[in-house]
Every structure is written in structure tokens, then in C-alpha cells.
């Protein structure tokens, strides 16, 4: 397996964890997709997450708030 950065990892995200008690998961509470992307910062892109409910951009979360990223397993 090749190691990669969050912004270049093409695997689908299943959930992001703020702590053991606070989790955003695809398929729960209307969340249809979680995507990592970069916002311009000082001299580099800062990793953020888009939380989508259908085509609606429900929230943006700064990656510094996230403890864990869980990816969908291949069937």
C-alpha cells in the first residue's frame, strides 16, 4: 500500500471522528458523502472536509478538529 496525504487519498471516506463520542458517518442523519479537500492557507492548502446531504453542502470541517478518518472497505 502506498502512503499518501489526506488531500491526495482517493479512497471513499466512511466516517470522521471528532472524539470517541462524536462521529459523522455516511448513511446517517442524511449524510451522503464526506470529502477531503484543500482550502488556501498560509503558503499551503489546509485540509478540510465537506459534509454533503445529497447535493447540499451541509457543513465544512477543519481537519485539525478530527481525530480519525475511517475509509469504506472494498467489497
Instruction: Of 2, 6, 18, 19, give the one whose Cα is nearest residue 71.
Output: 6
How confident is the model at residue 20, as a pLDDT?
78
Q: How confident is the model over 7-63, as pLDDT tens digits?
A: 889 899 999 999 878 999 999 999 999 999 999 988 888 999 999 999 999 999 999
Q: What is the pTM of this model?
A: 0.88
CA dihedral 49, 24, 66, 21 (to 10 degrees): 170
How confident is the model at residue 74, as a pLDDT?
83
How confident is the model at residue 2, as a pLDDT?
62
Q: Position of cell 457543513? A: 59
| Residue pair 53/32 in contact by the 8 Å Cβ criterion | yes
pLDDT band at 1 (very low <50, low <70, confident <90, very high): low
User: What residue segments make up the domains of the chain, in order of their start?
Assistant: 6-71
At a CB cut-off of 8 Å and minimum separation 6, what does 48 contact? 36, 37, 38, 39, 60, 61, 62, 63
Amino acid at each position: 500500500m502506498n502512503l499518501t496525504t489526506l488531500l491526495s487519498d482517493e479512497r471513499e471516506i466512511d466516517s470522521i471522528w471528532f472524539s470517541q463520542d462524536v462521529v459523522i458517518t455516511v448513511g446517517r442523519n442524511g449524510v451522503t458523502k464526506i470529502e477531503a479537500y484543500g482550502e488556501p492557507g498560509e503558503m499551503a492548502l489546509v485540509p478540510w472536509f465537506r459534509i454533503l446531504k445529497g447535493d447540499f453542502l451541509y457543513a465544512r470541517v477543519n481537519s485539525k478538529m478530527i481525530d480519525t478518518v475511517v475509509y469504506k472497505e472494498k467489497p
